[in-house]
């Protein structure tokens, strides 16, 4: 695996890493995706954020019988009740509101990979002993066939998809250097470590550990090159997808919940100025869940 892309390992890789490090230091960045134990924090002002499902609403009423539901902007943590999709909504809510508080999920959905087990009792103790994981989202800038620009943030992945029966033809560029002239496929995605266990894994992409400083570039049903499985890229790189012959082969771009039609070019990079903090019970940390996912029988 190469750590630098371009004309030489230092010219492109070294300078890009120095620039990335400078941006991260300016933003108070402490590591790519650090996770581990921390000094316990006495969280006492939770904001409960429940999905519309019956299970989540029942849990919300049970919790409100014991704990006060603080206003989001006065809370010191957000407690999400639902499934993984609702957890993703909660994290986007914190990003949109520019709130630097952690999110603690309790599973009232289906899979609940990012969620902790639901229990109404001892909430403050669980919050205080929880293990921390930090996630930096992806920043996507997309340009459509009319030249209009769109921007969005993705916590899981940024994806390109064909819009019709015609396969997409996509050029892949990493740090300004063309790495693949024509990827013929249903689509392609760039996933964060947190998102690597979601759609990326369904597309046969790798599970990327938190703290690895890597992103997963994964093709979706590739036709040519037939045996290309994707690539692992350092988190500080910039990835660009260019859709070819878009009049005949239209392509859409998605960043988590946001979708943009008839795109021609998409640029993606990690947004080191923004960070999401997830709290997990120590018995099943996010790192442990990702490890277990790789040994599922």
CATH number at residue 112: 3.40.50.10330
Separation between Cα atoms, residue 173 and residue 125, nearest integer Å: 48
Token pair recorded at residue 46? 């939770």
Give which of 92, 91, 113, 99 is closest to 70, Cα–Cα.
Answer: 99
Tens-place pLDDT, residues 87-120: 999 999 999 999 999 999 999 998 888 899 999 9
Residue 122 within any structural domain of the chain: yes
7, 32 contact by CB (below 8 A): no
**Domain span at residue 70?**
42-129
- Percentage of the chain modeled with pLDDT above 90: 76
Residues 107 and 142 in one domain: no
Q: Which residues pair with 139 in a beta bridge?
A: 153, 269
* Confidence check: pLDDT of 12 > 80: no
Q: Which residues pair with 152 in a beta bridge?
A: 140
Catalytic residue among 54, 76, 84, 186: 84
Residues 143 and 210 in one domain: yes
* Confidence check: pLDDT of 7 > 50: no
The residue from 88, 107, 129 where one domain ends is 129
Cβ-based neighbour number of residue 125 at 10 Å: 10
Q: The CATH number of the domain where 254 resides is what?
A: 2.60.200.30
Tens-place pLDDT, residues 69-79: 999 999 999 99
The CA-CA-CA angle for residues 151, 154, 157, to 5°, reads 120
Token pair recorded at residue 269? 């990079």
In the structure, what pLDDT confidence band is assigned to residue 293 with cuts at 50, 70 and 90?
Answer: confident
Residue 287 within any structural domain of the chain: no
Tens-place pLDDT, residues 141-160: 999 999 999 999 999 999 99
Q: Which residues pair with 265 in a beta bridge?
A: 143, 242
Residues 224 and 191 in one domain: yes
Give which of 169, 259, 166, 266 is closest to 219, Cα–Cα.
Answer: 169
Residues 64 and 102 in one domain: yes
* Confidence check: pLDDT of 60 > 80: yes
132, 35 contact by CB (below 8 A): yes
pLDDT at 10: 34
Separation between Cα atoms, residue 281 and residue 115, nearest integer Å: 9
Residue 65 within any structural domain of the chain: yes
Residues 115 and 142 in one domain: no
Residues 191 and 109 in one domain: no
The residue from 73, 103, 129 where one domain ends is 129
Residues 120 and 49 in one domain: yes
The 3-state DSSP class for residue 282 equals: helix
pLDDT at 110: 87
Which are the contacts of 12, defined by CB distance < 8 A and separation ≥ 6?
4, 5, 6, 175, 176, 177
Active site (annotated) includes residue 84:
yes
The 3-state DSSP class for residue 60 equals: helix
Residues 88 and 155 in one domain: no
Task: Name the domain count of the chain.
Answer: 2
Separation between Cα atoms, residue 185 and residue 182, nearest integer Å: 9
Query: Region 236-244: what's the mean pLDDT?
Result: 97
- Percentage of the chain modeled with pLDDT above 70: 86
Residues 124 and 165 in one domain: no
The 3-state DSSP class for residue 136 equals: coil
Separation between Cα atoms, residue 38 and residue 97, nearest integer Å: 25
Residue 144 within any structural domain of the chain: yes
């Amino acid at each position: 695996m190469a750590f630098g892309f371009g004309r030489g390992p230092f010219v492109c890789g070294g300078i890009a890493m120095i620039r990335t490090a400078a941006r991260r230091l300016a933003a108070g960045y402490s590591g790519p995706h650090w996770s581990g134990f921390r000094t316990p924090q006495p969280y006492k002002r939770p904001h409960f954020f429940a999905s519309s499902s019956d299970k989540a609403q029942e849990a919300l009423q049970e919790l409100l019988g014991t704990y006060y539901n603080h206003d989001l902007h006065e809370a010191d943590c957000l407690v999400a009740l639902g499934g993984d999709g609702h957890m993703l909504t909660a994290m986007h809510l914190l990003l949109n509101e520019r709130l630097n508080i952690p999110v603690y999920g309790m599973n009232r959905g289906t899979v609940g990979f990012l969620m902790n087990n639901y229990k109404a009792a001892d909430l403050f103790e669980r919050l205080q002993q929880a293990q921390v994981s930090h996630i930096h989202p992806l920043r996507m800038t997309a340009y459509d066939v009319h030249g209009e620009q769109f921007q969005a943030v993705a916590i899981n992945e940024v994806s390109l998809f064909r819009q019709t029966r015609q396969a997409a033809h996509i050029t892949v560029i990493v740090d300004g250097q063309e790495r693949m002239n024509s990827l013929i496929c249903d689509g392609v995605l760039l996933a964060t470590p947190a998102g690597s266990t979601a759609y990326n894994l369904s597309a046969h992409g790798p599970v990327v550990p938190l703290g690895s400083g890597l992103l997963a570039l994964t093709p979706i049903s590739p036709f040519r090159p037939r045996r290309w499985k994707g690539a692992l890229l350092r988190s500080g790189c910039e990835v660009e997808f260019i859709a070819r012959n878009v009049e005949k082969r239209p392509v859409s771009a998605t960043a988590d919940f946001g979708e943009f039609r008839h795109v021609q070019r998409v640029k993606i990079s990690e947004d080191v100025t923004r960070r999401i903090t997830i709290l997990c019970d120590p018995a099943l940390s996010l790192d442990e869940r990702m490890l277990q996912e790789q040994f599922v029988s």
